[in-house]
Every structure is written in C-alpha cells, then in structure tokens.
Amino acid sequence: MALKSANEYRSSPRRISVYNSLGGEKAAFEPLDPAPVSPRVKMYVCGLTPQDHSHLGHGLNGVRFDLIRRYLLYRRLDVQFVQNVTDVDDKIINKVLTTKQDPLVMTRDFTDEFYRCMDRLHALPIEAITRVTEYGPQIVRFIESLVARGFAYATPEGNVYFDVSKKADYGKLSNQNTSMLYESVRKELDKEKRSPLDFALWKRDESTALSQPSPWGIGRPGWHIECSAMIHEVLGDQIDIHGGGLDLKFPHHENEIAQSEAFSGGKFASVWMHGGLLNIDGQKMSKSLNNFMTLVDGLEHYGAALFRFVVARLHYRSALDLSDKLFRDNLNALLDFHRLLARFPDLDRVAPDTASPQGRAVIEAFEGAMDNDFNSPEALVVLEKFRAQLAQALDSGKETAQQLAPGARLLLELGQVLGLFFDSLESVEEQGLGLIARILGTQPLTRGGVSSLIRDRAEARASKDFSRSDEIRKELAARGVEILDSKAGSTFRFV
C-alpha cells in the first residue's frame, strides 16, 4: 500500500503536538512506550450504542479518528486502536422491550451496518472491537475491585454506585468541581445514593437476556464502567490517547477517569482528544427537528469520497455545520484533485518525488501542518497549491507528464495519508452529478449524458450554429453544470 512508501520518506522526526482536553493545552506527544523506533501507541475511541441506524455524526467521528490514526501510523507510531460497542444500554433495552426483537441480533445488525459504512469511507479496519456482551465477567470483577477499595458501594436494592466523594480530583477533565456539580444536581436527590453525584456502575435489571448474575443479584453494567473495564482488559491500566465526540466529555469521560484511576491508583490516559460536534443547517441534528440523516442515506446522498474530503477540510476539534451547500462548495475542489491524478495513468509504477526542492518543500509543509494537532485543513491547502502547480506546469507544456509524474505520485501518497483519493474520477463525477441533481431537483445527468452534450456543443460550434451551442450551455447551466474549454478538450465543473 502507498502508505508504506510514504513512511519511507518522512522528514526529520519532528514532534507531533496534540491538544489535550485534560488541561486544555497543546503539548508534544510523548508515547508511553519508550522504544526509540516505532513505539507502540495505545489508542481507544468510544464507539457506537447500536440501538438504531448510525447517523452522520457517527461517520464524522469515525473519519476524524481514522485520519488521526493514519497520520500516527505515517509517523511510524505503532498504533493499537481499540473501540467499544455499547451493546447493553438503557435505550437498547427499552427498544427491544417494545419491539420484541432479539437484542443481540438487533445490535449486531446495526453495528455491522456502521462498520460497512466506515469501510466505504475508507477507514482502516479496527483491530479490536470490544462489546459489553463479551466482557460481562470482567466488568463485574472491575466493579468488585472498586467496592473492595472503598470507591464504590452496593445498595440493598441490588445497585452499585461510584462514590464521587472518594475521588478528590473528580471533575478535572470538564473543569468542574464537585461543589459546582452538586449545585446543578441537588434537585435530583435519590435516597438510595449517598450523593446525587454518584453514578451507577451496576443496575439491578431482570427485564431482558442482556442481564447477568453478579454478587449483587441479576443486573447489568452502567454505561461508563464498560470502557474502563474493557480498556483495562485489552490495553492495560494506562493508555496514550483516549478519544470521542465532545458530547462524551461529561459525564462519560469524567466518570471513566474516576473509575480507572481509582482502580489502578495511577494515571489513566495521557491525552484526551475530543472531536467537534455535528450541526445540520446550524442546528443540532435530532429526530425531533426532522433534520436527522442516517449514515447509509448520507453516504448515498453525498458520496463517501466527498464526505471524507469535507471532513478532512475542517479541523477535527471544530463543529461541522453540515448542509447541501457545504458539499456542493467542496465538490469542485475534490474533482480538481481527481482530474489531475487521472492525467497520470501509470502512477503505480512511479516513485514519488521526495528529493527535488519542490518535493521536499511539499512534504515539510504537509507534515508541519499535520504535526500541529493534526491540522488537516492546512495540510490540504498545501496539497491544493501543489496540485495547482502541477496542473499549471502540465497545461503550459513546460514539463511533460512523464517529468511531472513523480510529483503527482507524491500528491497521491500524501492525500492517501489522510485517507483521500481512494475513489475513481468516474465515480466521483457520477456521484457529484447525482448530488447536484438532488439539490436542484432536476433529472440527474450521467457522465455519458454530459459528454454527449459537450460533443453536440462542439459540433454546433464547428458548424457555426451558435444558437444551438448556447442552448446546450444554458441547459447544462440549469442543471448545475458548466463546460470548461481547454487545449486538452472540454470538461465540466459544478456551478
């Protein structure tokens, strides 16, 4: 795979700096593993609660952490990437109690659908997916240990709670202290809990087959404990990077820190990374606002290649305000890359330009952007400028395609570091035509249809039938397509 050869020319081992949500500062990333070459990096990103079809927010989060993982791999860090699936949860139980579905079948189907979408989005496969249903005894043992150490208590009702008062630094991730938090929850006082801030580690529940026996009776784990217990099982007590969407910062990640650090007595995650949230046309995506789009539908509508490109063009910590206009505005930029790369048909057999001053400068600038807290939009600006230089050199005839091919190969490989340019030009054009037609509410044009209209126009112009050629231009424009004439022939852009 091209990524491997990209690895071979990475420039001086400049340090990556990462914004740590814990403390709110950017700092040099230091792997826990002291190995000087290819140190192991343990990375965990909270995953899906498969109670329904996954939505665009799941895809956004998936692509963002895949992009970060890919760059760490490019930087020769041996990333061990683990993600959980919360297949035991209140929402799942409530749903199957109404629908009478088998919870295991339902959650498996929704999980498989999500990872099929991630595959279409060109995300690297997850090495270890941990499911709550597969870690029942380990989760119980983890809770038992917290009870034994005095950090948790069982109630006569058969529930177990984490005792927040035993953890002096509770609230350090979300910058809140327990007295502030206490003010906000005072009204929810629950007789069973010692403090309203205490959260459930184990819930008594006999309603579905998802429950299991425990020292406290039949029940199931609370939401937060699964991540702490599964990370302990698969990665150990301390990890390098813990990621998730910003909406998980409090209480989920705060509670994970409390549980894991109470359990081990040491530090849990070195770096906490949070991806910005998804808005749709300026509003939070929700079923009640009727702006909810499933990931399957979103990929059908926008196309996987364009979706990934749009995500990469925004910094992972920024909120993504999704709209048809945003995708429409990015379509030409993505097509420009694909069109240029398509002009070099034998790139597989070409080595990237890593030695010329221009090639070195592009690599330096690309890595400089990505080393700075994975600034993919800035890295894409570097690639866009380089693309324009290559296109200009080729169009002007100053250099031949053969001379420019190593540069084009470098462009392709650096794009692949971000997981981009995996689709063919034909497919990106076809998907773009479909998207524009849906946005404008017109009949979709095919690539063949556009080509034949472009040919008709060329013939009309050749026979000086300018009214016919103008008519064709107007017809295409009404359908969001503009013809571009060049020495190499006519092609199109989206208006």
If the CB atoms of residues 51 and 469 are measured against Zn ion, the closer one turns out to be 51
Half-sphere exposure of 62 (CA within 13 A, CB side): 27
The DSSP result for 150-198, as a single string, is: TSEEE-TTS-EEE-GGG-TTTTTTTT--HHHHHHHHGGG--TTSSSTT-
**Cα–Cα distance for residue pair 438/302, rounded to 1 Å:** 10
| Cβ pair 77, 7 in contact under 8 A | no
Distance from first CA to last CA of the chain, Å, rounded?
35
Alpha helices by DSSP H, 313-398: 324-342, 357-371, 376-396
For Zn ion, the closer of residues 245 and 276 by Cβ is: 245
Shortest gap between Cβ of 10 and Zn ion (angstroms)? 32
| 227 vs 314 by CB, closer to Zn ion | 227
Tell me the residue length of the chain: 495
* Least separation in angstroms between CB 134 and Zn ion: 16
Question: Least CB distance from residue 387 to Zn ion, whole Å?
Answer: 39
Name which of 268 and 302 has its Cβ closer to Zn ion.
268
CB of 102 to Zn ion, least distance (A): 25
Using CB under 5 A as the binding rule, the residues of this chain from 133 to 192 that contact Zn ion are none
Q: How many Å apart are CA 470 and CA 454, to the nearest integer?
A: 11
Closest to Zn ion by CB, 248 vs 312, is 248
| String of contacts with Zn ion for each residue 185-224, x by CB under 5 A | ----------------------------------------
How big is the CA angle at 47 (ends 41 and 50), to the nearest 5 degrees? 160
Please tell me whether residue 239 binds Zn ion under the rule CB under 5 A: no
Would you say 78 and 41 are in contact if contact means Cβ atoms under 8 Å apart?
yes
> What's the distance, CA 445 to chain centroid?
31
Nearest-approach distance from CB 252 to Zn ion, in angstroms: 6
- Cβ nearer to Zn ion, comparing 130 with 214: 130
- Min separation Cβ 46 and Zn ion, Å: 3
With respect to Zn ion, which residue has the nearer C-beta, 46 or 197?
46
Number of residues engaging Zn ion in binding (CB under 5 A)? 2
Strands (E), 334-486: 481-486
Angle value at C-alpha 55, between 53 and 58, nearest 5 degrees: 115
CA distance 72 to 68: 6
The least distance separating Zn ion from the CB of residue 227, rounded to whole angstroms, comes to 3
Which residue is nearest to Zn ion, using beta carbons? 227
Give the integer Cα–Cα distance in Å for 119 and 448: 28
Task: Tell me the closest approach of the beta carbon of residue 242 to Zn ion, in angstroms.
Answer: 8
436: tokens are: 């524009």
Q: Among residue numbers 1 through 60, which ones bind Zn ion (CB under 5 A)?
A: 46
Site map (CB under 5 A) of Zn ion, residues 217-236, x = contact: ----------x---------
Q: Nearer Cβ to Zn ion, position 227 or 229?
A: 227
What type of residue is 342? A
Which two structure tokens, joined as six digits, stand for 219? 């029940």
Question: For residues 160 and 255, what is the distance between their CA atoms, to the nearest angstrom?
Answer: 14
| Pick 6 or 227: Cβ nearer Zn ion | 227
To Zn ion, the closest distance from the beta carbon of 256 in angstroms equals 6
Positions touching Zn ion (CB under 5 A) are 46, 227
